[in-house]
């Protein structure tokens, strides 16, 4: 295994997995705040919201500029998740089957 392959498998794939988790947490938390299930004034909720937003907003903002809002529904997290899943599988398949990559 070369250094590049090890870098992809042991660093890039876990970073993409963490980004997927952060996106899910951010989306679920936004729903909970929108439906008044959790109080956004709560310090713990506010901290989680700020951290997840700060980490996901740089990758969601370009998608939001391209993708128009559909009736107040933000589909940018869904689009980003699809892109991450596609890239992750493409990278993994390229490592397992180098002729396809």
In a domain, 57, yes or no: yes
H or E segment and range at residue 4: helix 3-7
Report which of 17, 18, 21 is spatially closest to residue 92, judged by C-alpha positions: 17
In a domain, 54, yes or no: yes
In a domain, 101, yes or no: no
In a domain, 29, yes or no: yes
In a domain, 18, yes or no: yes
With 90 as the cut, is the pLDDT of residue 18 above it? yes
In a domain, 46, yes or no: yes
Comparing 87 with 24, the larger pLDDT belongs to 24
> Residue length, the chain?
101
* 33-85 pLDDT per residue, tens: 999 999 999 999 999 999 999 999 999 999 999 998 788 888 999 999 999 99
Name the band, by pLDDT with cuts 50, 70 and 90, for residue 91: confident
What pLDDT, on the 0 to 100 scale, is given for residue 54?
97
Please, are residues 87 and 59 in contact by the beta-carbon 8 Å criterion? no
In a domain, 60, yes or no: yes
In a domain, 44, yes or no: yes
With 60 as the cut, is the pLDDT of residue 100 above it? no
Domain count, the chain: 1
Cα distances from 2 to residues 7, 41, 73, 95, in angstroms, run 9, 49, 44, 11
SS3 42: coil
Look up the domain containing 57 and give its range.
3-96
What pLDDT, on the 0 to 100 scale, is given for residue 97?
63
Helices marked H in 8-96? 13-34, 43-66, 76-96
Q: What sign has the CA pseudo-torsion 22, 24, 9, 91?
A: negative
């Amino acid at each position: 295994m070369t250094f590049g392959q090890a870098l992809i498998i042991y660093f890039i794939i876990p970073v993409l997995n963490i980004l997927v988790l952060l996106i899910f947490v951010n989306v679920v938390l936004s729903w909970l705040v929108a439906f008044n299930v959790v109080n956004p004034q709560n310090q713990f909720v506010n901290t989680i919201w700020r951290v997840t937003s700060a980490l996901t907003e740089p990758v969601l903002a370009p998608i939001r500029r391209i993708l128009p809002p559909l009736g107040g529904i933000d589909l940018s997290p869904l689009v980003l998740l699809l892109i991450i899943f596609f890239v992750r599988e493409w990278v993994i398949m390229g490592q397992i089957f180098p002729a396809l990559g």
